Amino acid sequence: MTQHTHSKCCINPSILSADFVNLEAELARISTADAVHVDVMDNHFVPNLTLGLPVVTRIAQVSPIPLDVHLMISDADRWAPAYAQAGAASVTFHAEASAAPIKLARELRAHGAKAAMALRPATAVEPYLDMLTELDMLLIMTVEPGFGGQSFLDVTLPKIRRAAKAIADAGVDVAIQVDGGITAETIERAAEAGASIFVAGSAVYGATDPAQAISELRAAGQKILNR
């Protein structure tokens, strides 16, 4: 059984699957969520382009819930701190896109945000275990970043388990987030492996009632975390 250092199940809907022309109304539909996941893509680190700092700044001003910003951008060292200054509660940069991840994580915290680092599905967690103390959250991608609506990659489950064990062994306060292909079914496997924060795009915004989808996901995840 995986040891969970974090036992509260958090659901962070991704606005990547929302209507970008009606963002304020789309935010109101997920006001019961723990945070809103904002996917920033630069058509360089990933083959897709979404939104950037001016839009994220406005979202931070009008959102009823905290912002969980996921930066899928190159040269994160240069651009990430501005998202913390814009009011994001947490800023996640990719390990593959940062030349100095420890320095960057410290900068994010200095700006008052939680510092988080993401790993693509094929990036190993082991080289980063010694810097867990610098992080508040570790995002283990469960699809290749770039697009919503992809299928959950079960091949990432052993990495989630190893990360959860390392976090428990080190006694550090780091939550594991998973992003990609999370549904009422896959959330159970991810929670069993050790994740406690779940990003869901299509499972929430593709539902007729996003608030109901959030509560169903939360119940499915919490049931596992309570064990």
Residue list 150-179, contact with Zn ion (CB under 5 A): 179
Q: Does 221 bind ligand DX5 (CB under 6 A)?
A: no
- The count of chain residues that interact with ligand DX5, using the rule CB under 6 A, is 22
Confirm or reject binding of residue 202 to ligand DX5 (CB under 6 A). yes
Binding mask 117-136 toward ligand DX5 (x if CB under 6 A, else -) reads --------------------
Q: Is 77 marked active-site?
A: no
Compute how many other C-beta atoms are within 10 angstroms of the C-beta atom of residue 109.
Answer: 16
Asked if residues 204 and 32 have their Cβ atoms less than 8 Å apart, the reply is no
Alpha-carbon separation of residue 37 from 128, 131, 192 (angstroms): 23, 24, 22
Q: Does 87 bind ligand DX5 (CB under 6 A)?
A: no
> What phi and psi, each to the nearest 5 degrees, are found at residue 35?
-165, 165
Say whether 169 is catalytic: no
Catalytic residue among 19, 34, 39, 77: 39
Chain residue at closest Cβ approach to ligand DX5: 201
Nearest residue to Zn ion, using CB?
70
Rounded CA Rg of the chain:
16
Q: CB of 117 within 8 A of CB of 105?
A: yes
Assess contact for 121 and 160: CB atoms under 8 A. no
The residues binding ligand DX5 (CB under 6 A) are 14, 16-17, 37, 39, 70, 143, 145-150, 179-182, 199-203
Where on the chain is the footprint of Zn ion (CB under 5 A)? 39, 70, 179
